[in-house]
Structure 1
Amino acid sequence: MTVEPQSEGAELTEAAWQRLDPRVLAVFPLRQAGALIPVVVVLLISGQGQGGWQLLAALAPVLVVLGIGVTRWATVRYRVGEERVELRGGLIHREQRSLRRDRVRTVDLRANPAHRIFGLTVVEIGTGSSSTKEGRLSLDAVPVAEGERLRARLLSRSPSAAPAGRTSAVSTAETSPAAGPSQPGLDPTLGQRAIEVARLHPSWLRYAPLTGSGLVAVGAVVGTAFRVASDAGLDLTSWVTLQIAGDELTAVPLWMEIAVIALVVLLMAGLGSLVIYLEGWWGYRLTREPDDTLRLRRGLLTTRSLSVEQGRMRGAEVAEPLLLRLVGGARCTAITTGLDAKTSNRGALLPPAPIAEAHRVAAAALLLTDPSSGTDAPLVRHPPAALRRRLTRALLPAVGIALLAWVLHDTVPWLDWAWPGALLLLPLAALLAADRYRNLGHALRPDYLVISQGSLIRRRVALQRRGIIGWQLRQSPPQRWAGLATLDAVTAAGAGRYSVVDVPLARAVALVDQVNPGLLPTG
């Protein structure tokens, strides 16, 4: 959608309803072409000896799509007033929706290949409401320049003043106009005052194969293979097919079969992860805009632009999944209110990158000059009782499984292998418990409460002290016997609750009193 032609930099006419851009008549059919082509081919091939009727049946889906596009162009309008953003449309079922401008929290830009061909983008206007439909308006599609003006206008508020003693942690110079945007299809102009926080580095691609997206790619390839085989009349799950495959594989040593299958899966997962990484994070650039928002741009085929208001930031999280952690990699996400988890990729500020870069970006996002004041703060370790609890919870299930395997290995012959395998669980469980304890800790900094925990995914959270709206102190019977407690810091952002686990009870009370003096009764 777009406004009527106007001079560059001119303001929108607030009183007038704006018509859809005529280029949407081409974008909509192009977006549906992938689904239309198989339908048209089937209709052309299946009909025999029907002459003109066959051609008419094949053209019908195309005409329907064109009709829908024309209807949208003729009926949908939007306008931006002083107090509200309004959208209306529909031919048979007419609908009018509006959002109050003072409730607008996010204005994100997204452009798939069809939009980019015609220089358009989708403007997603959100209020941060849990209801996706009621809390969002989607303007599909407006010219890129108009999308930028809408974003700047709807997010134009008095910038939140940073607390005393805190300055921007970004260290790069202001971006010059000659540098140009990293994604030409999405951001034709970048303000001279925009400051670059981070951009994609080619060496980060080495982290792509260590993300879980490769398993998704393997599943997609396997699913496609089964579908193609089914279309060819071959049932890969039938007993006859499996028997033939088994007869062929018996001529190959078992170790070679396992090695080949493992190698194929690893290659597919690695290549799939690399493709997904490139499509999602190509052209990645994080900047601090003149309106004091963090703006993230990324995407190869479908470009995306996410804006995060500084005033709504409540913290940052650095997560280290096990595989990334083994090679020194991590992710960084924002803890903020008003973000849609689906459209914002759960607030991700950085692709998988070196751990030092993740802590640096987290500090820059929180306007900290030193990462040690945030997610990289030195931690206060929890007492040995916390280690004993982790050893108990990890070893008891492992011992139970080992005993069960020992009982069954004589009575169930085909489970002979399970007994020695179950014994390996004991040292693995002990190592897991020790690692969970090693990663357990917390720190109280001048502006942030820092919490660390986890093993398979180690997480460091820097939670803004003034963003904590409540506390919850919990003790299970084993915790009471050990003199420990779990302290939950409640906030309106992110997961909503961040826990300091297995901390001494006196320390938990002291943390609450230090963050919110006078909250707890004395005496």
Structure 2
Amino acid sequence: MTVPAGPLPLAEPVRLPMRLSPKVLLIHPVRMIPSLIVPLVGLLFVGGFSGMSYTWAAVGVGVTLAFAVVRWAIFSYEIVGDRLEIKRSLISRSVRTIPLERIRGVDVSTPPMHRLLGLAVLKIDTGASGGEEEGKLDGVTLEEAERLKSVLLRRTRAARVTRPARAPMPGETSAAVSATDPAAATDPAAASASAAASMSAVREETAEDEREIIRVPWTWLLYGPLSGAYLLTPFALAGGAVGLAFQWGDDLGFGRDAALTVGEWLWEHPYLLLAVVLLLVVAMPFVGGVMYAVFNWNFRLISRDGYLVAERGLINRRSVSLEAGRVRGYEIIEGLAERWAGVARVWAIVTGLGDSQTRGQLLPDVPRTVAFQVTGEAIGTYQAELRPHPPIARNRRLFRAIAPWLALAVATTLTALLTAQPIWWIGTVVALLLAGSGISLGLDRYRSLGHGYDGVRLAVRSGSLRRSQAVVERRAVVGWHIRQTWFQRRAGVYTLTAGVGAGKGGYSAIDVSQQQAIGFPAEVTPEWLAPFLSKGQ
């Protein structure tokens, strides 16, 4: 027998289909308890708490447990070549195939019960939709979740690096192909050498290159109530309690009539009702701050193996991975209270990202200077001044901020003169005060307007109570949309929207002049607009 010279190639170990951890069987029945409470309580009440009622209730619980066992037994997953397969097999066979090169990110979260059992939920985002059915493994061990996350992300990069060269399309030149796939423009030997070099580079990254960009100190969590995201939590909890009382009052034993009686009694005692409302208002910043801290506890932004990884959460620890190569910019959000405190929040603008409002968060409330520093380090810095919008844009904002209150003041004044009731004069004074405050609001909204381009990135900004500045790379722009409402036509201004294949899909510069509406797209994408502009324009 002839033995080949040189080292033998290392064969990839064969892995059998994997299953979720058996510990997940302790979680599925608990999740089903809320949907079983009402039927079980109804069964016990109808049966009169007899032995037969308890028997049927036990049968219902047993069926639930058996269903959970069957779901666990028929579910498996495995990585086969360049794809991940998620299988369900009982009477019929269902296989969900996810090509590795389409994976945009892998998220790992640990809800409370999962954390107690040492389990995690792993979600795979391919950018096809925002649904959870993209790919979800609910109940893998923490070690398996981290292993899968590392393997999937690394193999995803390798699959893209070694993607085979494509043939030119009809009418397409070899130069166009080489721009998107350089290996296709070379001979087979050069293409093979390029692929081998790329694979070698991927293998050299076996040890993950991890660098912590920022770890948010716990003291910065005190900025949480300024965002307003969780301020209405007390009212939401109170509303949920009222809804529970009306829906399940009879089943819980105190009756729906009792809830109605309490409501009528509070309505007949307005001072006590006002005290309850004031108590909820006072609780808003405290409860909102606690909820904000729970969701953003120990927030870390990490650069790891070509991905931006955001980790956060106290009860439910969550890790979100965003492929750095698909990040096209960022959006900085500042509410009015946040601007007074000098803090801001940051979201990434990423192509093919589902649920971007949750998964795309790069930073919670942090000092504004830190927000710009981190975005510049992680994504890139916008290096130009924003250009002001025409004065007519200021007049439009002043009119909209003042005119409604002046109209209300006129209406209350006329009512006071006709009815001779002093209370209407109070309304007039309040309306005039709001009109006066509208002056500063309108001026601030105008100062917030702006747009610009630094040769690499464009930026648009607008808003006052919620000011948003989006910074997008020029390569992400896929089109322009110029729009004019009836009132804008009267004022001679336009809304210019840069269509972007990422984030919200478009970011608008509001109330720009005609010269800006034409000149800004011509500056950012001159090759697109050149055929539509006459010489000298």
Fold equivalence (TM over 0.5):
yes
* 1:195 corresponds to which of 199, 203, 211: 211
Change (3 A) 1:236 1:319: farther
Per-residue CA distance 1:68-114 (angstroms, 9 max, x = gap): 22102221122212232222215456432222222111211122122
Alignment of 1:148 onto 2:163 = no
The SS at the match of 2:27 is: helix
**Residue in structure 2 matching 1:283, options 298, 301, 316:** 298
Report the Cα offset of residue 296 of structure 1.
0.9
Describe how 1:234-253 pairs up with structure 2 within 5 A: 235=257, 238=260, 241=262, 244-245=265-266
- The one-letter code sitting in structure 1 at the alignment partner of 2:220 is W
Equivalent of 1:378, from 381, 385, 408? 385
* Uncovered stretches (5+) of structure 1, i.e. residues with no partner: 1-9, 161-189
**Separation in 2 of the partners of 1:499 and 1:12?**
52
Q: Distance in 1 between matches of 2:453 and 2:288?
A: 37
The code of the aligned residue for 1:99 comes to: I
Would you say the 8 A contact 2:331–2:349 is kept in 1? yes
Sequence identity, in percent?
34
1:298 is aligned to 2:315: no
Q: Taking structure 1 as reference, are residues 110 and 511 closer, same or farther at Cα in structure 2, changes over 3 Å only?
A: same
- Judged with a 3 Å threshold, the aligned counterparts in structure 2 of structure 1 residues 415 and 318 are, in CA distance, closer, same or farther, namely same
Q: Which amino acid aligns with 1:214?
A: L
Measure how far apart 1:406 and its partner are: 2.9
> Secondary structure of 1:316's match?
strand
Amino acid at match of 1:145: E
Give RMSD over aligned pairs. 3.2
After TM superposition, the structure 1 stretch with the greater mean CA deviation from structure 2, 221-230 or 272-281, is 221-230
In the alignment, what sits opposite 2:235?
Answer: 218
1:107–1:155: 8 Å Cα contact kept in structure 2? yes
Amino acid at match of 2:18: Q
What whole-Å deviation, never above 9, does each CA across 1:456-509 have from its counterpart, x for those lacking one?
Answer: 101111111111111122344554555533221110111111111222322333
How far does the alpha carbon of each residue in 1:378-430 deviate from its partner, in whole angstroms, 9 at most, with x for none?
32222322212222333333333333333333456575543332222321222
Q: Which amino acid aligns with 2:26?
A: A
Determine the C-alpha separation between the residues in 2 that align with 1:479 and 1:73: 59
Q: In the alignment, residue 309 of structure 1 is paired with which amino acid?
A: E
Q: Distance in 1 between matches of 2:410 and 2:498?
A: 40
Structure 2 unmatched ranges of 5 or more: 1-10, 162-205
Q: What secondary structure is seen at the aligned counterpart in 2 of 1:388?
A: helix
Aligned ranges for residues 381-460 of structure 1 at < 5 Å? 381-411=388-418, 415=424, 417-460=426-469
Which residue identity does 1:401 align to in structure 2?
A: L
User: Taking structure 1 as reference, are residues 346 and 113 closer, same or farther at Cα in structure 2, changes over 3 Å only?
Assistant: closer
Give 1:360's aligned residue: 373
Map of 1:185 onto structure 2: none
For 2:293 and 2:46, locate their aligned partners in 1 and report how far apart those are by CA, in whole Å. Answer: 40
Deviations 1:236-284 (A, max 9, x none): 775x65664466566x9xxxx85x4564123322232123212211232
Q: Displacement, 1:324?
A: 2.2
Q: Which has the higher helix share?
A: 2
1-structure distance, mates of 2:485, 2:49: 77
Higher mean C-alpha displacement, 142-151 vs 412-421: 412-421
- Please report how far the alpha carbon of residue 341 of structure 1 lies from its aligned counterpart in structure 2 after TM superposition: 1.2
Number of aligned positions between the proteins? 467
Which segment is superposed worse, 279-288 or 411-420?
411-420
Residue 363 of structure 2 is aligned to residue 350 of structure 1: yes
The one-letter code of the counterpart of 2:75 is V
What SS does structure 1 have at the residue aligned with 2:292?
Answer: helix
Q: What is the distance in 1 between the residues matched to 2:527 and 2:139?
A: 53
Q: CA deviation at 1:329?
A: 2.2
Amino acid at match of 2:448: N
Q: Which has the larger radius of gyration?
A: 2
Report deviation, 1:122.
1.5
**Corresponding residue SS for 2:231:** helix
Mapped partners of 1:109, 1:12: distance in 2: 25
| TM-score (normalizing by structure 2) | 0.78
Distance 2:360 2:207 in 1: 23
Q: Match for 1:409: what amino acid? A: A
CA distance in 2, matches of 1:48, 1:131: 47
Instruction: Report the Cα distance in structure 2 between the residues aligned to 1:243 and 1:315, rounded to whole angstroms.
Output: 53
Other-structure match for 1:165: none
Partner of 2:197: none
- Counterpart amino acid of 1:83? D
Amino acid at match of 1:25: L
